[in-house]
């Protein structure tokens, strides 16, 4: 029997609810633990709603039977009792409600539910407007993290604080806990995101393995002081490598990490990082020190400082300082899986001021050479300093034709570590631009004029006879045109839009003799569809390529008309030359007399079932050969399954300089088991550059990853081997190496799991 009650003031009852609880309390049969890895509807931690905090918020009760006691102002409910108030819900066999205290006493099959907490027990009471209560012989669940456990007593002492006596804590499925924290007292503060445990014992498969009289741990992703998961690896280079970091949450805007690192073949290294964040500045400072390296018998160190500041309105500053003790530092101690290839370590300081449509900058940049085989004359130039100015007026009122103006200027002093072997000096570069674009929805025409004026004041090497003062003035004329054509149609049950986007780009730059100008920071740009439609075939101001040419391009795309998602893109471009290109990167290079460039084609496709494909092809019609080709196929049918394969080849001056292929896999091979593997191979050198393989077991409450890696830092190096092991107790912490970060850096399309 269902009794609907019309109760006074703070107590009303709605129509009976038939949906029940959306999250049956702690039932291992509901499938949430079975699918917890990819469970899409897991709630997030929420603060108590304003409605719950309001003492005038009404309560609604459904029950089979009711009895009212007027002398005490209490209601007694029995039979399928359910009380709902704001975002709180209580279910029990029997319930006693006191209007005066807004208190609920319950008995039998008690369940309490709010967005960030589920409780269950035999009996208990709740003070609804105080967010307080107590349960005996209870269970609990934090839905956001699937943390759950039992307790002899649970006390709710505030809207975000729960205290437990004789409690357990785990993120494993109830009744199937691989690991479990057993404590005498447990306090979960969802407001601070911290859990505290007294007399805590960690049990694995029911066997105690660790004890601490007191421990605290995060119950969400907020920062707190404490030991971070240690990292552990074994490699040929360092032997047994163990790091135990300690995180110090100094203040909301300051923190530090201290990480002693023991390497059996080298000794004890200290690693420290300090981070700061203020309203006007932020940054990170990191330093490492290894006294008397057992392998090199010398001190090893590194210092890294990244600082950003807003000094005044419109004025910002940045400092990026990096220094290491020797050229083998990153190879031996690199903190990630790509830093070992660093050969030129850059440090720079920058000031930037922006006011209105004017932006100015001042920068200094130096390098530390980490390549012992690099000749002194081939090291990079240092900019001491570089000053820039950019003036971009605000656009005129909208219309089909508007006059655009822009001014770019630069003055820079180039120094070199070997000034007796390379020219140094000052370069000033000024480029005003005018454009009169005509823009419509169906296309555009953008004629433009520019004048590039470059002045050099050089310090020539002693045996040089070239001029020390050089001026180069180069006019630039461009005409960029494009048309947007499209058609609508339906296919594969989707509304599609196909575009056809032809483009013509004419460029004229007269020839200027530049053989006497040194190469400070300039190189030849790699051919690409983007570069074909730019005004200079060189990167940098030391060469301004002569040109009388037209670039032709065509792009077609297939898009979803509803959400704009791109399913397919194909593009092709080529440049046709009307004159020879006399300006070359170096004086001894021959004039380029070809009448057409390589043909570059690109294709990208997003196919059903998580399949994506892309390819790029560069074909030389003059030599009738492919000069560059790359293709990638990626299959990702679900979040935890990736197969990625790629191929690359390059030909320079008729000689093949690169040919590599690779494949990488993260694939489920059984329930919760994943196979990990990868291989990168140089076909040109007939050798393996890198290969790795391993297994991952990922349960709801714990994960382990074991990967063996074989790799070369450079082609001439002997191969190295390492074994990486990582164990993660979800909701408690990680032990071992950073295997997941390695997979993210190495496998295209792999994403870190929650």
Sequential DSSP letters for 593-620: --SB--EEEEEEEEEGGGEEEEEEEEEE
At residue 464, the pLDDT reads 59
At residue 699, the pLDDT reads 79
Radius of gyration for the chain, computed over Cα atoms and rounded to the nearest angstrom: 34
At residue 614, the pLDDT reads 93
Per residue in 91-150, pLDDT tens? 888 888 887 777 888 888 888 888 777 888 888 887 877 778 888 888 888 877 778 888
The answer to whether 134 and 158 are in contact (CB under 8 A) is no
| Structural domains of the chain, with CATH | 28-222 (2.60.450.10), 391-597 (no CATH)
Confidence of residue 575 (pLDDT cuts 50, 70, 90): very high
At residue 88, the pLDDT reads 80
At residue 752, the pLDDT reads 67
CA 119 – CA 138 distance, rounded (Å): 7
Per residue in 714-727, pLDDT tens? 645 677 787 888 88
Confidence of residue 656 (pLDDT cuts 50, 70, 90): confident
In percent, the amount of the chain with pLDDT more than 70 equals 88
Please name the residue that has the structure tokens 């997979």. Answer: 743
At residue 242, the pLDDT reads 86
Confidence of residue 195 (pLDDT cuts 50, 70, 90): confident
Using alpha carbons, list the distances in angstroms from residue 142 to 84, 114, 118, 162, 536.
19, 10, 6, 11, 60
CA 13 – CA 62 distance, rounded (Å): 7
Q: Angle 733-739-742 (CA atoms, 0-180°, nearest 5)?
A: 135
In percent, the amount of the chain with pLDDT more than 90 equals 38
H helix or E strand, kind and range, residue 743 = helix 739-746
Instruction: Count CA within 13 A, CB hemisphere, residue 747.
Output: 28
Token pair in block for residue 338: 């790509």
Give the number of other Cβ atoms within 10 Å of residue 512's Cβ.
Answer: 19
Confidence of residue 223 (pLDDT cuts 50, 70, 90): confident
CA 30 – CA 22 distance, rounded (Å): 10
> Of 513-527, 545-559, 707-721, where does mean pLDDT reach its minimum?
707-721
At residue 512, the pLDDT reads 93
Confidence of residue 713 (pLDDT cuts 50, 70, 90): low
Per residue in 290-347, pLDDT tens? 999 888 889 999 999 999 999 999 999 999 999 999 888 888 887 554 455 577 899 9
- DSSP class of residue 292? S
CA 306 – CA 351 distance, rounded (Å): 14
The answer to whether 300 and 269 are in contact (CB under 8 A) is yes
Q: Report the mean per-residue pLDDT for the chain.
A: 83
Per-residue pLDDT, averaged over 679-686, amounts to: 89
Confidence of residue 406 (pLDDT cuts 50, 70, 90): very high
């Amino acid at each position: 029997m269902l009794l609907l009650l019309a109760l006074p003031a703070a107590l009303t009852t709605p129509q009976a609810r038939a949906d029940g609880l959306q999250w049956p309390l702690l039932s291992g049969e509901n499938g949430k633990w079975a699918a917890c890895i990819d469970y899409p509807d897991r709630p997030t931690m929420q603060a108590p709603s304003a409605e719950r905090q309001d003492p005038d918020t009404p309560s609604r009760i459904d029950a089979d039977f009711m009895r009212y006691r007027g002398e005490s102002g209490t209601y007694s409910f029995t039979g399928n009792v359910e009380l709902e108030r704001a975002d709180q819900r209580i279910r029990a066999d029997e319930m006693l409600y006191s209007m005066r205290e807004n208190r609920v006493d319950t008995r039998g099959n008690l369940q309490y539910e709010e967005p960030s907490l589920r409780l269950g027990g035999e009996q208990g009471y709740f003070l609804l407007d105080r967010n307080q209560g107590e349960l005996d012989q209870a269970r609990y669940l934090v839905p956001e993290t699937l943390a759950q456990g039992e307790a002899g007593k649970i006390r709710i002492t505030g809207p975000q604080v729960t205290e437990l006596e004789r409690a357990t804590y785990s993120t494993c499925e109830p009744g199937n806990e691989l690991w479990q924290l057993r404590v005498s007292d447990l306090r979960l503060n969802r407001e601070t995101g911290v859990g505290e445990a007294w007399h805590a014992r960690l049990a694995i498969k029911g066997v105690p393995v660790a004890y601490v009289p007191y421990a605290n741990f995060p119950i969400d992703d907020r920062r707190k002081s404490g030991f971070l998961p240690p990292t552990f690896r074994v490699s040929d280079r360092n032997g047994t490598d163990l790091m135990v970091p300690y995180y110090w949450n100094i203040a909301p805007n300051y923190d530090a990490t201290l990480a002693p690192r023991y390497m059996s073949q080298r000794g004890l290294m200290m690693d420290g990082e300090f981070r700061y964040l203020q309203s006007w500045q932020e940054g990170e400072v990191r330093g490492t020190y290894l006294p008397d390296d057992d392998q090199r018998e010398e001190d090893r160190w590194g210092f890294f400082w990244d600082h950003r500041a807003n000094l005044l309105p419109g004025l910002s500053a940045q400092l990026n300082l990096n220094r290491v003790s020797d050229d083998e530092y990153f190879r031996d101690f690199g903190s990630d899986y790509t830093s070992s290839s660093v050969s030129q370590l850059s440090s720079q300081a920058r000031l930037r001021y922006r006011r209105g449509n004017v932006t100015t900058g001042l920068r200094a940049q130096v390098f530390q050479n980490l390549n012992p085989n690099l000749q002194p004359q081939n090291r990079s130039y240092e900019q001491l300093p570089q000053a820039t100015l950019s003036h971009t007026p605000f656009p005129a009122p909208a219309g089909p034709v508007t006059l655009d103006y822009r001014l770019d200027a630069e003055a820079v002093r180039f120094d070199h570590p070997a000034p007796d072997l390379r020219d140094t000096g000052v370069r000033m570069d000024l480029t005003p631009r005018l454009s009169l674009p005509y823009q419509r929805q169906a296309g555009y025409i953008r004629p433009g004029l520019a004048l590039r004026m470059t002045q050099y004041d050089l310090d020539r090497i002693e045996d040089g006879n070239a001029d020390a003062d050089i001026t180069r003035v180069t006019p630039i004329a461009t005409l960029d045109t494009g048309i947007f054509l499209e058609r609508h149609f339906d296919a594969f049950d989707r509304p599609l839009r196909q575009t056809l986007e032809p483009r013509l780009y004419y460029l004229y730059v007269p020839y200027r003799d530049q053989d006497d100008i040194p190469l400070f920071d300039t190189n030849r740009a790699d051919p690409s569809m983007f570069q074909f439609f730019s005004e200079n075939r060189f990167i940098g101001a030391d060469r301004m390529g002569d040109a009388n040419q037209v670039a032709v391009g065509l792009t077609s795309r297939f898009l979803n008309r509803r959400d704009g998602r791109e399913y397919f893109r194909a593009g092709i471009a080529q440049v046709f030359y009307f004159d020879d290109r006399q300006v070359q990167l170096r004086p001894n290079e021959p004039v380029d007399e070809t009448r057409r460039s390589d043909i570059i084609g690109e294709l990208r496709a997003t196919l059903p079932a998580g399949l994506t494909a892309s390819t790029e092809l560069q074909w030389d019609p003059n030599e009738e050969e492919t000069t560059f080709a790359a293709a990638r196929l990626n299959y990702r049918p679900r979040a935890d399954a990736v197969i990625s394969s790629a191929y690359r080849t390059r030909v320079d001056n008729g000689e093949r300089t690169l040919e590599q292929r690779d494949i990488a896999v993260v694939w489920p091979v059984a329930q919760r088991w994943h196979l990990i593997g990868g291989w990168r191979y140089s076909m040109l050198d007939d050798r393996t550059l890198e290969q790795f393989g391993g297994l991952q077991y990922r349960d709801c409450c714990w994960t382990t990853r074991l990967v063996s890696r074989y790799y070369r830092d450079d082609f001439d190096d002997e191969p190295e081997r390492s074994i990486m092991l990582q164990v993660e107790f979800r909701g408690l912490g990680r032990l071992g190496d950073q295997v997941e970060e390695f997979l993210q850096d190495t496998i295209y399309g792999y994403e870190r799991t929650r």
